[in-house]
Structure 1
Amino acid sequence: MRINFKETLSSFSSFLYKNQGWIFPIIVLSALISLSALQISGTSAGIYDYLLGKKPVNLIAGKPRPIRSDEWVVTTPFVVSQYNNGMPAKSKDIGIGQDMSIVADAPYTDWSMLFRPHNLIFFLLPIGFAFAFKWWLLSAGLALSVYIFVLFLYPRKYLIASLLGSIMLFSPFIQWWYQSATILPIIYGLLGIVSAIKLIESRCRRTAIYWSIALAYLAVCFALVMYPAFQLTIGLVSLVTLLAILQGRGTLHLLWQRRNLFLIFGSIIIAGTIMGLFLWQHSDAVKASLNTIYPGHRNISSGGFDIFRLISWPLSYLLLHDNNSMILGNNQSEVSNFLLIGLVLMPFLIYLSIRYKSTFSKLEKSIIYISSGIFIFIAIRMFIPIGDQLFSLLGMSKIPHERLFIGLGLINFLLLLVAVSRRSKKLPKKWWKPLTSIQQLIFFAIITIIFSILIYATVRHYDIPNIGPLESVAVILTFSISSTLLLSSYEQFRIVGLVGVLLLNILSTYMVNPLYRGVGITDNEFSRYIMDAEKKDNFYWVANDSSVLSAIMVASGAEVYGGVNTYPQTDIWRRYFPNSANVFNRYAHVRFLFDSSPQKRSLSLIQDDSFFVHISPCDEMLHDLNIRYIVSERPLKSSCLESNRGGIFDGKKIYIYTIKNNSTNTRK
């Protein structure tokens, strides 16, 4: 049988054209399934390999990022611990017990897990596959939620939707802050906007009811992310965007129809009831979190933010190199941002929407103006010391200024969407002519000046030594050309500009997170030793000044004091340190520091989210808490400790001591 390749290719092309809306989702989901099947994730848990002197054989590409400690020290150990301990709702292995519902990334057995769908996979697959699936599910969810949102506003703009979904995913802020608390608010915010508009504009009552149920479900999922700094910002921008879209589509008046008000309030009541039940069931942990000094009672005044932290985003690519980890005045996560090209285009879009009214729809004008307004509102909060009462009323007094970047990223996305999707002229045969038009050249000149100022000011302010004139010019021209193309009257040029923006994002973040096979944290000799020892007794372990050893022990299923407490276990600390509430009443990395003869057990604050427990191995507190084992990276000397039972684990010497039962205890 002879195959006609030309005819086959033509049929395949025709099939792809008819089904082009599925190409991007299929690519995304295929990547999700493939990487999960290979147990490959972007975890930085490979750091444990290095710290234990072990060859990182599971590291496929890139390198672990120490600054991503929220992942490899906090969430990953919690996830593995929960899996190894049967996923209890309250873990008895962390101090006197910790409610795991407060940790959005940790799986646990409770009805509320239905509203944390990203964790359900742990009930179905072994840990290696489940961990990888959950990791990439966040990426897939973010890219596809943007894709759905764009197609909702601009049907059949499949290429633009795919590019914008990829741009959002590869943004520096997303990659350096890659976790559920960062990504899920954006996903639920965008899908919530779509659901609310579908509800309001639906002509069928039954369909409207379905969308009302979907909106209630998304609202509960959004609330259970439990990271207000990002939730409040995304919630505010999403609400304003919803009103802007309704106004632009001419359907804002439908919001006030009796049916729609009833269904919207119904969604709010359903979501509020479910959240109320959750808060009542977990009230002790919630109250403990809200009543903390950090972050619960943290208040941040308006104004005073360093503008250079905002304008340094064109140099995000520098953060990929370890020797540049503090080059912009702070660590990579804290200074990471979105590539805010949309904000640079904002005044140009306002000008074009006024000068060429017919090329912008009412919807696009509404998005431009409302987005500009909310940007100004956020900028006032960051830079001008006014309006504290208003911002406090909105809950924004609890949000550190740099966390507001996530709102700027969503505004940036909306402006890019309008810039690339607005009405287009037909490209002339002499396609290069529009590129040399007076208006386009003026735009290019102004934008080049803007980027020159941003980069020159940043380099001078932070005294960055590694950027020469050629590199600066290359960066300026790359950003300027991509931005100018997005202002073209021709869609083909705008898409080229959008591809340029995507490439800039990828080049800024392509190796932020490594590719690592497996989970890593328990794949070592020390973890296996802990697991074997745990089978023999139920005594508690504590590490001497080592977050790494604490994390490994937690992940290995041991009963551990110290490590990360997502809310304070006040029953312990008030009993033994009654006058130190200002130290222990916080989300904290708790680090025990053993001294053979301290004059007095005490606490000392290291930073906002970390404190030391200074204590003797002979202290009665250890026996009261059923602590039997101390592990340390350095030798300890005390008459209350039995000789070292440790040794070399992989390439790391670890000391393991048993506290003597007949020791002379001290209470001070």
Structure 2
Amino acid sequence: MTNTLAPDARRTFRDRYRRWTTPRPDGLPNRAVVGVPLGILGAVLVALVALGLTGSSTGVVYDLIRQGEDPALIAGEPEPIRSDEWFVQTSWVISQVEQDLPPRNETFPGGMDATVQNDLPTTDWSTLLRPHLWGFFFLPLDQAMALKWWLPGFAVIAAGYLLSVVLMPRRPATAAALSVGFFFAPFFQWWYLSTTLYPAAWAFLVMATAVWCLRSRRRRGAWVLAAVTAWTTAAMAVGVYVPFIVPVVLVSAAFVIGAVLTPGDESLPFRRRVGRLGPLFAAGGAAAVVMVVWLITRLSTIEGFTSTVYPGERLQKVGEGGWSELAQLFGGFLSFDLGRTAGKPFAMNMPEASTFFLPGVFLVFVMAWLLIERWRAERRADPVSIALLAVGAVMLAFLFVPGWDAIAHLLFLDRTTSSRLRIGFGVLSFVMVLVVGAALDGRRSRGAGRGPWWVSVGALLVAAASIGMVIWRVHRTGGLAAYLDGISGAEAGLGVALALLFLFSVLAFARGGVTAGAVALLTVSIVSGLGVNPLYRGVLDLRETATVQAVQQRDEQEPGTWVGITSSSLPTMMLVESGVTALNGFQGAPSAEMWAQIDPTGAAEEEWNRLGMVSWVLGSGDPAPRNPYPDQVQMTFDACAPFAQEYVTWVLSETPIDSACATLSDTVQEGPTTMRIYEVQK
């Protein structure tokens, strides 16, 4: 009886699943396919926020202030290389909380515009454009930090899922696997910031909204999506990180142009198709108005940032890439090992070496074959596929073909870099998987079959060749034996398994097995990206340390300006988070008042007029700045120098200070670290 009922049960499940996923008459996904998975995703987000869980690496300094195991660390290890998150952003966020979320943070003398740099919560109206920061107005710090951490990432999953079911409405499970796998891409995990994640979410939303506008006969859904797109446009734009924005804008623009040029089932004239994009155009216009207002109201800050020596207005020449850049682009199967190799031999660190798994790029052969077949059968082109192939060619040309800098400048491509351009290839690969998958689904529904094997094998062989090229490049740059030195047999086996599983995903997508390919891609992405960031309970709040409390107590008794003498990141983080006036911290647009005090003649402007971390070490005489790295400004401090005598009241130091002008006020034993507070004697 079991053998008789099992097939019937499976058929019943398939029938119910087909009914549940039946598209609307216009071909768009039904309400349940859109709403149920997104509702589940929202519930997971609420749970993570309620528990106060983040992927923060602030625990990297725990061993400096406490003995034993960090009780907030649930799984994984903090990543020191993620200093943009744990050293820069989180310290300034806590400083904002300490100062009651002012639009202008008063840590640096002269203050810092907190509405532009470092993704900070403020009481300024522009925080309405940053929903991931809203929790700081009504949630405890740990829960607010959890919302800040997860919302941009979940926006990528939600937008990727929406685009997937818009193009493949009968495949919600496949869409979920693809979007979650995309979120776990090593590139996102190593660059995990809202400035990286929102551009991808925006691109998916723009493409999904465009298709919805073109297909839907009812306008309400189109206007709702357009409103969300407008909001996401503003959220992306206020991040002001152009190198990640430009590539995804090019990919989404190419897709939308192709979609408008596609007649569709109704064969509407071109003018009518453009008219249907009215909600999307309105969204773009509204977002543009908001952004113009935002830019005008903080123009001086933006001008100060763009006029810095570093990064200033950085432009990259076209065609400067080579085999190394190509290996970085296609080296996803080695991403699981970036922590051990510290990004070598691909780049100077793990984020710069990280990339996406790019099965869609190898579907070029399948897409080209589909284009030819469609032309032969119907004498019609596929504008979407042509546009995607064109934008992919443009991005590759930017990396490897010199001589067209003027055109690249018009396209804003020279505002990005070869490593940042990978986000464009990641989004392009995702979309190409969907377009090819939808086309092959359509062929099967018409009884046309999957297509010839030689096309699929061609895609597989090129993907295998890319893996071979990466291995060859590793051998040429440092030696394969040296690369494998220290890796265990199990880890080497894992690398081989990931490469094979990735090749399987390419073959599956090429044959129309979108679900199998999505599951394989989800697996390699999770294995390669899941362990990058730890699972952490909230953040490490240094305001709870005895040192910061002593700093705040001394400053209340005698307010003044602080300097932190650093041999680690700890004094800078403590001063920033304490909320006192200090000369340490990561600066965006340099404070004119602060640097007029430090360098009144402007003789050292080349060294300090840059985006970077300002820190201090002991020295003689007035401050003498130097740049250990382009984004670091290291100053020397002498308590007897005229600058210190006039402007500095307190010094927080990890090392003893032997100076007639500095009197020890307090010594605090912070775990294994001894922190000293000195008062400058006038």
TM-score (norm 2): 0.85
Cα deviation, residue 443, structure 1: 5.4
- Relative to structure 1, is the Cα distance of residues 337 and 212 closer, same or farther in structure 2, using a 3 angstrom cutoff? closer
Q: What SS does the aligned partner of 2:625 have?
A: strand
- Relative to structure 1, is the Cα distance of residues 533 and 249 closer, same or farther in structure 2, using a 3 angstrom cutoff? farther
Contact 1:482–1:501 (8 Å) recurs in 2: yes
Residue of structure 1 in register with 2:541 after alignment: 521
When structure 1 is superposed on structure 2, of 325-334 and 73-82 the one drifting more is 325-334
Contact 1:234–1:407 (8 Å) recurs in 2: yes
Cα deviation, residue 323, structure 1: 4.9
1:369 pairs, out of 363, 375, 386, with 386
CA distance in 2, matches of 1:22, 1:263: 21
Contact 1:359–1:422 (8 Å) recurs in 2: no
CA distance in 1, matches of 2:314, 2:137: 36
Cα deviation, residue 52, structure 1: 2.6
**Paired letter, 1:416:** V
Cα deviation, residue 142, structure 1: 0.9
- Relative to structure 1, is the Cα distance of residues 439 and 590 closer, same or farther in structure 2, using a 3 angstrom cutoff? closer
**Paired letter, 2:296:** W
Cα deviation, residue 218, structure 1: 3.8
1:558 corresponds to 2:576: no
1:615 pairs, out of 622, 628, 637, with 637
1:57-72 to 2 correspondences below 5 Å: 57-72=71-86
Residue of structure 2 in register with 1:115 after alignment: 129
Residue of structure 2 in register with 1:592 after alignment: 616
Cα deviation, residue 440, structure 1: 5.3
CA distance in 2, matches of 1:266, 1:646: 61
When structure 1 is superposed on structure 2, of 443-452 and 123-132 the one drifting more is 443-452
Contact 1:420–1:495 (8 Å) recurs in 2: no
Residue of structure 1 in register with 2:666 after alignment: 645
Contact 1:360–1:422 (8 Å) recurs in 2: no
**Paired letter, 1:388:** D
Q: What SS does the aligned partner of 2:347 have?
A: coil
When structure 1 is superposed on structure 2, of 202-211 and 49-58 the one drifting more is 202-211
1:162-177 to 2 correspondences below 5 Å: 162-177=176-191
Cα deviation, residue 174, structure 1: 0.5
Output one character per residue of 1:208-246: Cα deviation in whole Å (capped at 9) or x when no partner: 766665554443333212111111222222212211222
CA distance in 1, matches of 2:525, 2:275: 44
CA distance in 1, matches of 2:219, 2:33: 31
Contact 1:342–1:413 (8 Å) recurs in 2: yes
Contact 1:301–1:388 (8 Å) recurs in 2: yes
Contact 1:149–1:190 (8 Å) recurs in 2: yes
1:544 corresponds to 2:565: yes
**Paired letter, 2:527:** L
Cα deviation, residue 446, structure 1: 5.2
Q: What SS does the aligned partner of 2:564 have?
A: strand
CA distance in 2, matches of 1:381, 1:24: 38
CA distance in 1, matches of 2:663, 2:475: 56
CA distance in 2, matches of 1:400, 1:352: 32
Residue of structure 2 in register with 1:579 after alignment: 603
CA distance in 1, matches of 2:168, 2:451: 26
Cα deviation, residue 205, structure 1: 7.3
1:329 corresponds to 2:371: no
- Relative to structure 1, is the Cα distance of residues 319 and 573 closer, same or farther in structure 2, using a 3 angstrom cutoff? farther
CA distance in 1, matches of 2:347, 2:584: 30
Output one character per residue of 1:123-142: Cα deviation in whole Å (capped at 9) or x when no partner: 12111111112211122111
**Paired letter, 2:56:** T
TM-score (norm 1): 0.87
When structure 1 is superposed on structure 2, of 521-530 and 223-232 the one drifting more is 521-530
Output one character per residue of 1:35-65: Cα deviation in whole Å (capped at 9) or x when no partner: 2111110000001202334431210000000
Task: Count the aligned residue pairs.
Answer: 644
Residue of structure 2 in register with 1:477 after alignment: 500
CA distance in 2, matches of 1:126, 1:151: 36
Output one character per residue of 1:451-479: Cα deviation in whole Å (capped at 9) or x when no partner: 33333333443422346886665444332
CA distance in 1, matches of 2:401, 2:153: 35
CA distance in 2, matches of 1:213, 1:339: 31
Output one character per residue of 1:545-570: Cα deviation in whole Å (capped at 9) or x when no partner: 34332123212322221210121113
- Relative to structure 1, is the Cα distance of residues 193 and 130 closer, same or farther in structure 2, using a 3 angstrom cutoff? same
% same residue: 25
1:88-487 to 2 correspondences below 5 Å: 88-103=102-117, 105-199=119-213, 215-248=229-262, 250=264, 254=270, 267-312=283-328, 313-355=331-373, 365-424=382-441, 444-445=460-461, 447-463=463-479, 464-466=483-485, 473-487=496-510
When structure 1 is superposed on structure 2, of 24-33 and 103-112 the one drifting more is 24-33
CA distance in 2, matches of 1:630, 1:201: 65
- Relative to structure 1, is the Cα distance of residues 51 and 419 closer, same or farther in structure 2, using a 3 angstrom cutoff? farther
- Relative to structure 1, is the Cα distance of residues 270 and 642 closer, same or farther in structure 2, using a 3 angstrom cutoff? same
Cα deviation, residue 334, structure 1: 0.8
- Relative to structure 1, is the Cα distance of residues 190 and 474 closer, same or farther in structure 2, using a 3 angstrom cutoff? closer
**Paired letter, 1:608:** P
Contact 1:21–1:156 (8 Å) recurs in 2: no
When structure 1 is superposed on structure 2, of 256-265 and 195-204 the one drifting more is 256-265
Contact 1:243–1:252 (8 Å) recurs in 2: no
- Relative to structure 1, is the Cα distance of residues 12 and 479 closer, same or farther in structure 2, using a 3 angstrom cutoff? closer
CA distance in 2, matches of 1:586, 1:291: 9
CA distance in 1, matches of 2:286, 2:613: 36
Unaligned runs of 5+ in 1: 1-5, 428-432, 663-668
CA distance in 2, matches of 1:358, 1:47: 60
When structure 1 is superposed on structure 2, of 253-262 and 460-469 the one drifting more is 253-262
Output one character per residue of 1:554-602: Cα deviation in whole Å (capped at 9) or x when no partner: 123222212101211133324543122222221111112221x33x532
Residue of structure 2 in register with 1:508 after alignment: 528
Output one character per residue of 1:85-112: Cα deviation in whole Å (capped at 9) or x when no partner: 1101111123320010013521000111
- Relative to structure 1, is the Cα distance of residues 659 and 361 closer, same or farther in structure 2, using a 3 angstrom cutoff? farther
Unaligned runs of 5+ in 2: 1-5, 21-31
CA distance in 2, matches of 1:484, 1:13: 25
Q: What SS does the aligned partner of 1:330 have?
A: coil
Output one character per residue of 1:503-528: Cα deviation in whole Å (capped at 9) or x when no partner: 11111111000001121132433334
CA distance in 2, matches of 1:72, 1:360: 56
CA distance in 2, matches of 1:294, 1:416: 39
CA distance in 2, matches of 1:405, 1:386: 21
- Relative to structure 1, is the Cα distance of residues 635 and 268 closer, same or farther in structure 2, using a 3 angstrom cutoff? same
When structure 1 is superposed on structure 2, of 107-116 and 636-645 the one drifting more is 636-645
**Paired letter, 1:344:** F
Q: What SS does the aligned partner of 1:121 have?
A: helix
Q: What SS does the aligned partner of 2:57 have?
A: coil
CA distance in 1, matches of 2:241, 2:142: 26
CA distance in 2, matches of 1:267, 1:255: 19
Q: What SS does the aligned partner of 1:402 have?
A: coil
CA distance in 1, matches of 2:11, 2:112: 61
CA distance in 2, matches of 1:48, 1:640: 31
